[in-house]
Each structure stands twice: as structure tokens, then as C-alpha cells.
Chains A and B, each alone.
Chain A
């Protein structure tokens, strides 16, 4: 599997929470090379790798397929679209941003802004309302746009330097890519576990796809692969991971301590770069829902360090995806028992 190509394809798909179809189809197509794939009515993509052996525990490899975006809530008399966040969108990025409105057909728009010439000194123009200019009258707009249509910024993936890429939706298409790459590394290898895969819908609006998806799969162990905060210029190393220094293994009261330790031991034994991400309760990832599925699932988070989360200019280091995939592949081969 060519990581850059796979990640580029995944990031290019539209998949704002609740409207993941395009992204899910691409993920399902890529997963079908490694697993029997099914989709559920919630929009989840599920995969079963090989034939499962009842004597083995089932290990779930999970990442979410949805991305943050916006949703149309109103069309003004002048044909502007009023929009609201769908997921935890960083609204600061929207000013004068080009967007795509996923209507009956996809159209281009620009988020409105008041130019500096008309602002009073020091006025930042904070507005409770966000509007998209689609250059149409209301009558024209209504032929294409319906309330509830999703809106997103469509920055495609660009290689910046060496292993560094920027794109929209690296949260969490990079996690999807890491799971696919782990399966690629496991091709033809014996695993200590039955392996199932879940690419879950609606993480950004409350980890909902993972809740229903994990219920159906009912795994014994789970790895939720997501992104976490990498240090940016004005931040402290105390508060963040470092880009390029390996996957961030989660340690938290809500995660399985033995499973976290097994991943740490695996990384040490196989000399795979890793970092520890300590959280003090819930993780804010799909792990929160997976871990309390049915009678409970031993769960760990592996997070890819990411800069500028929930913006269209997210940045990460491809090596961190590779380290994450290697760690999963080594663990699945039973490097450390738990």
C-alpha cells in the first residue's frame, strides 16, 4: 500500500458527520482488499479479516470516517445561506473562506466577511451568524440547496516537505489510513487475534457510529486510532505531543491500563517510536463509547500527532502514521500478551 496515495484519496472525499457516504464508499473500497466488508444503516464501514476462530479473542481496529464541517440552516431573502457548525469546527477559519455546498449538485461559495475598510478600530466583527455567498437569488438557491445540506472547505492533500503533509480531514482519515496500512503489514502473517475493522460515522458529533458499530462487532479488545494535539509554535511541550516522534499511546482511567502497557512494551521491544498521552478521564475519541459496549471492551487509543486540528490546514508527519500501523501490526502478532 502506498501511504501517500491512499491518504490523498481518503482526504479528498467529502464526509461531514451524518453525510459520510462518499468517504465511506472510498474507505470500503480500500478495505475490501484486506477484509470482507459490510456497511450498516448508520453509515459505518465494518470489515472482517480472514475467517475468525472461536478460540481467539477479537481485536477491533477502529478509526472514524467523518470530518467536521458546517450545515445549512436557513436561506435568506437575498439568497445567502446561513450555516452552523456540524462537529467542533473552528469557526475562526471561516472568514472569507471558499467552501463547497453539497446540495443537489455541489456548488462553490464564499463565507462572508466585512472588510477592514468598514470596521471600526479594534472591532473584530464577531458575529453570531455565519453566511455563505453562493452568488444566487433565493429562487435560484432553492433549486440546488436544501436546509440540512453540508458545507465544507475542500483543501486537497499537499506534500509540504519530506514527510509533512497538509489537508482537510486528516482528522481522522489518517487513522483510517493507519488501520489500512496495519492490515497491509499483516498480509500473510499469523495473528493472535481475530481482526475486525470499524470505520465509524459521526464521531465528531458525539462518537455515535462507534457506539452502534462496536455493538454489532462485539470485540474483546479495541484500538481506537485517532489524532491528537501536536505542539505548535506558541504551545508548550508539556501540553502536547511532538509531530514525527511516533504514535501517542493513550493512558487514562477510561482506557485499559494493561492494554496501554502492552502497546508500550511492544513499541519498546520493536523499537517503534512512541509517545505517551495521559488523559484524566474520558478521551474525547470513539474509545469512550467502544469501551462501554455490551459488557465492556478493553480499549486503548493510539493517536497520530496533528497540528491545527479541526481546520482545513491540518498538518501531520506521514512517518507517524507508519509508526502507528507498525505498532498495531506487531501487537496483533502477539508481541506482548495481555
Chain B
């Protein structure tokens, strides 16, 4: 799955511009599922199993990643930009980016630290004071390369480091996509719907439409969630920890999760010696927020990978957690089909 994750993470696809990711995923699963692409661009994949279960079960992950968008081309050839999804301007400062369809190399930085007043030297530079420099000297020159509305993606290579750790951009939520592709290739025994959705990062939008279409009884959302197990955070502020298994939440900012399914997840993990944990802070949210309110309501579970530095060019996960999440989802699905 790591190789699959690498291929997925290195594709650029901010919210609303997921085409490359969609094409790749379809190429991976086209022989294993009936595929439709809905009007917003989400993939709905139906895997016909040997049997049709009592419950209609959906597994969902989002294809989009956070990034930026070009809002204006300045007279001096630099690009004004704004964030797409929740991007802290601190994580883009001093970084390389790729702009537009031709993936033009740009850099983001500003006044040299020597010329910044002492009091401001550790302050974040907000997006309205940041520009992307693509090495052009004029608007005319820049307009030949980029357009207003072009997507801006982080430049970040896929690197394995330390004891089983992986670093790249877009692990949120290509990790979920990778697990789903693997589940599809495994050919589930029972009929199962899989949705690879768009626009999660700007408000759980693709999932709202796709879950309406599928109309499931039960849903599993595969995600990457905030881990803050770093020296700046102590005890419960760590939220969850890398290497300690998949994260199953009881509540976040969008969803109070189905209590019975929450308990079933922990029982299943325990019986099969799969590491699992929950979050110690009620924060963040994911497509479960849209799916669990779809139509007359869907019994929804989120299974997430603990991920450090979420929404930055350097997301970090542990490969063992990815395996735990995959193992757990697979077992939970089997306990849900005919529940």
C-alpha cells in the first residue's frame, strides 16, 4: 500500500481540481468495480460481491488536498494567492510550489529577515502579504504561464524516514484513497459501495452529494486526522499518537458518532489484537459530518490515520498505522453487512 500511497500523494489535486487523482484511481480500480463519476466529480464505485448483504454499506475517502489558488497576477509578475482549505500561512512561507496546468515552479517568501523589525521576526506572514514568485518580471510575461484561478500545490517529495515513518504532502486523504483501492482490489465478499469524493477540504461538499446518490445504511469514512504528539503538546493535547493504531472518534466538530458502531470498532480491534485509539480532543471533522446527515440519516464510523503536521507540505504518518486501519476496516465491514 505504501507504493500506492506514494503515487497518490505525488498527484496534485486541490479541492475543485481533483481530475488527476480521479483518473489515476479509475485506472487502478476499473477492472474491479462498476464506476460512475457524479456531476461534482466524485467517483462512485460499486463492487458486486458474491452476495448482496442486508445492509447497504458505503466506504468513503476524499481525493482533494489543501493548497492555494491564484487570485491575481501582479504588475511585477508575482502572483497573489489565497488558501484553499485550512492552510496556515506559516507552513507555506519559504516553500516551493507548483502553479497551474503546466506546473510552473514558484517560491513563496518575502522581505528578508534582516529587514523585518525585531518584534515581527517570528510572526507569521498572512496570505494577503504573501506572493508567489515564478521568476517573471512582468504581468505580461506571467500571463503566458499562469492564469487567475490556477491551482497551487505544495512541492514535497515522498520520503520514508525514522522507524517506519512516511512524509509527503496530501497524505490527507490519499491514505484513505490508498486503503480503499486496496479494499476494492481485494474484491469484497458482499456488495459494497466506495466513494472517492471531491471538495472535502472546503466543507464536506462532495460527500454530501455522493452519499445522497448511494443512500447507504452504514458508512465508513477513511481519513487522516490530527496527531499532535510533539514536544509542544502535553498529555491530552497530543490528541492521538503515531504508531498506536487507527483512530476511531466518538465526536468531532461535525459529528457525534454512532455509539454502537464505535464500541464495535474497539471490540473488533481488541479481539483481533489490532492497535486502535481514540482522540483526546474534540477537534477537526471529516466527511462523516455530511454523510451521517444524508437523507434520513446514516450510521457512520470514521477510521482515521493519526497524521502529524496535517494540512502542511510535510504530513507524517506511520506505515504500521496504515496497516492497522486497513485491517480494522476490513473486519468491521464483515461485521456490518448483515448486522
Contact = CB atoms under 8 A, between A and B. Distances in A.
Nearest to A119: B88
Interface string B52-94: 0000000000000000000000101010000000111011011
Contacts of A82: 231
Contacts of B281: 118
Interface stretch (A2-10, A54-62, A213-221, A304-312): A304-312
A188 B127 CA distance: 53
B324 interface: no
Interface of B: 74, 76, 78, 86-88, 90-91, 93-96, 105-115, 121-125, 129, 131, 133-137, 141, 156-157, 159, 161-165, 167, 226, 228-233, 237, 239, 281, 283-284, 308-314, 316, 318
10 tightest CB-CB pairs across the interface, nearest first?
A: A135-B162, A93-B94, A160-B135, A96-B312, A135-B165, A164-B135, A313-B107, A308-B109, A161-B135, A90-B113
A307 B109 contact: yes
B308 A110 contact: yes
Contacts of B125: 92
Contacts of A312: 94
Nearest to A112: B230
Contacts of A76: 231
Contacts of B122: 91-92, 126
Contact of A116 (B94, B109, B110, B311): B311
B90 A124 contact: yes
B118 to A, nearest CB: 12
B133 A307 contact: yes
A109 B165 CA distance: 10
A1 to B, nearest CB: 23
Interface residues of A, number: 64
Contact of A88 (B114, B123, B131): B114
Contacts of B93: 92-93, 95
A89 B113 CA distance: 8
A133 B243 CA distance: 14
B220 to A, nearest CB: 21
B194 to A, nearest CB: 26
Interface of A: 76, 78, 80, 82, 88-98, 107-119, 124-127, 129, 131, 133-137, 140, 153, 155, 158, 160-162, 164, 166, 229, 232-235, 239, 244, 284, 307-313, 315
Given A78-B231, A308-B109, A92 B95 contact: no
A88 B262 CA distance: 50
Contacts of B313: 96-98
A309 B107 contact: no
B232 A131 contact: yes
Contacts of B162: 107-109, 133-136, 140
A116 B88 contact: yes
Given A117-B86, A118-B239, A313-B94, A90 B112 contact: yes
The winner among B76, B229, B231 for most chain A CB atoms within 10 A is: B231
Nearest to A134: B162
Given A92-B94, A93-B93, A124-B124, A135 B164 contact: yes
Contacts of B129: 234
A167 to B, nearest CB: 10
A93 B232 contact: no
A80 to B, nearest CB: 5
8 contacts: A92-B93, A92-B121, A92-B122, A108-B162, A110-B309, A135-B161, A229-B115, A244-B137
Contacts of A313: 94-96, 107-109
Contact of B113 (A92, A110, A119, A127): A92
B312 A113 contact: yes
Given A108-B162, A135-B165, A239-B115, 18 more contacts: A88-B113, A91-B122, A92-B121, A107-B161, A110-B308, A110-B314, A113-B88, A114-B230, A115-B226, A115-B312, A117-B284, A131-B232, A133-B308, A158-B105, A232-B110, A233-B78, A234-B110, A313-B94
A231 to B, nearest CB: 9
Contacts of B167: 98, 108, 110
A140 to B, nearest CB: 6
Contact of B111 (A89, A127, A135, A235): A235
A107 B167 CA distance: 13
A137 B163 contact: yes
A166 B314 contact: no
A95 B312 CA distance: 9
A135 B124 contact: no
Given A96-B313, A108-B161, A166-B96, A229 B91 contact: no
Contacts of B159: 98, 108
Given A97-B94, A115-B311, A135 B109 contact: no
Nearest to B78: A233
Given A92-B90, A234-B111, A124 B123 contact: yes
A161 B94 contact: no
B315 to A, nearest CB: 9
A97 B110 contact: no
Contacts of B124: 92, 124
A91 B118 CA distance: 12
A208 to B, nearest CB: 19
Nearest to A140: B163
A164 to B, nearest CB: 4
Contacts of A160: 105-106, 134-135
Contacts of B230: 80, 112, 114, 131, 133
